[in-house]
Amino acid sequence: MVETKVKTKDRVLSALAKQAGSYVSGDQLATELSISRESVWKAIKSLQKDGHRIVSKKKMGYAYLSSDHVDARVAESYLSALSHGKQQFDTIRVFDEIGSTQTFAKDYLAKNPSPYPSIFTARTMGAGYGRRGRAFFAPKDHGLYISLSLPIDEKKELIPSLLTTSAADVIANVLEESFPGLDVQLKWVNDLIVKRHKVGGIITEAVFDMETQQYNALVLGFFVNVLPADYPEDISQKAGSVLDDSEAEVDWNFLLARLTLALIEMNNHYQDGSYLPDYRKRSLLVDQMVAIQVGQDVVKGKVTGISDQAGLALELEDGEKKTLYAGEVTKVKLYENLNL
């Protein structure tokens, strides 16, 4: 295998990211990386031009603060720091642009099964898709677009409905912790709602190994619109963003690390239903009249709750009680813009 030489500026970025927020002298960087002080200075200038917020202070050196985009080196540093070096990954791929991280992830995992998680993310996507294959808008550096592989533990039961709802609850909590004052609601099964607009969604797919005739990995794909954008006309009334200020500084890599590590932890025990109480509190559907597309049929009724297996409990128009584990809520009375 031919080894690719790492650029000097990438080495400098990795060194600074490992001590994010702290000053590192130019002499120290030069010594650690076996380069000249001039090379350090040139690398810093190049990194700043690339969108990395690196500040300097006389007699103290340089400090990495954040980046205006996802970056593999910075993300790896945060993942290692937040997990105290305990979480291993098979691969972490960051693309400037890609058709779909979900498609790439499934293809990669089919050829490279691994007992460790992998992260596939991109600054923008041209062919991203959600449930039912519906395309979605992914403006560059305005959101996070991630496909996270989660190894399957054969000793534990796979419960798709609980997995998806638990993931939605985890993402909602991390977003609220990351952006004080934010209130995230959830629309069954997998939509993240802020101020009555969809800011994110989740899709869960499995990778099947033809040789072993078993599933070898789950791919949890999700997106979060963080900064506002000019959405296409067909979704402009429905889509929204976590933040209102398009110029707000976002620590994309720290947010990516927090989300993915929380989801990996969730995958270890979501089967116990521990995420359901909070999911129920966040649900905007309880006590609402809804219409749900189930295959070719439309089911209408009042939502009475979320079952212990994360199904949608309904009282139909004729009084019959029913619990759905699949389907898409296409209409919520009082929330007309949520017909997603």
Q: Is the pLDDT of residue 339 over 70?
A: no
Q: What does the alpha-carbon distance between residue 263 and residue 285 come to, in Å, rounded to a whole number?
A: 24
Q: What does the alpha-carbon distance between residue 276 and residue 278 come to, in Å, rounded to a whole number?
A: 5
pLDDT of residue 1: 39
Q: Is the pLDDT of residue 3 over 50?
A: no
**More confidently predicted of 135 and 15:** 15
Q: What does the alpha-carbon distance between residue 151 and residue 105 come to, in Å, rounded to a whole number?
A: 13
Q: What does the alpha-carbon distance between residue 302 and residue 291 come to, in Å, rounded to a whole number?
A: 9
Core vs surface per residue 31-63: b (16+ CB within 10 A) or e: eebebeeebbbebbebbeeeebebeeeeeebbb
pLDDT of residue 215: 82
Q: How far apart are the first and last CA of the chain?
A: 47
Structure letter (DSSP) for residue 5? P
Lowest mean pLDDT among 32-46, 126-140, 155-169, 235-249: 126-140
pLDDT of residue 154: 83
Q: At what angle do helices 252-267 and 72-82 cross, to 10 degrees?
A: 50
* pLDDT, tens digit, 9 for 90 and up, residues 227-251: 999 988 888 888 999 999 999 999 9
Q: What does the alpha-carbon distance between residue 52 and residue 30 come to, in Å, rounded to a whole number?
A: 19
Query: Cα 215 from chain centroid?
Result: 22
Token pair for residue 325? 């584990």
Give the confidence band of 216 by pLDDT, cuts at 50, 70, 90.
Answer: confident
Spell out the residues 6+ positions from residue 209 whose beta carbon is closer than 8 angstroms to its own: 110, 113, 215, 216
Length of the chain: 340
Q: What angle do CA 148, 154, 159 make, to 5 degrees?
A: 65
Q: What does the alpha-carbon distance between residue 83 and residue 104 come to, in Å, rounded to a whole number?
A: 26
Q: What does the alpha-carbon distance between residue 233 and residue 1 come to, in Å, rounded to a whole number?
A: 48
Q: Which domains does the chain have, with CATH numbers?
A: 8-67 (1.10.10.10), 72-282 (3.30.930.10), 289-338 (2.30.30.100)
Q: Is the pLDDT of residue 259 over 60?
A: yes
**More confidently predicted of 210 and 300:** 300
pLDDT of residue 133: 52
Give yes or no for a cis peptide into 189 (omega within 30° of 0).
yes
* pLDDT, tens digit, 9 for 90 and up, residues 17-75: 999 999 999 999 999 999 999 999 999 999 999 999 999 999 999 999 999 999 999 99
pLDDT of residue 30: 97
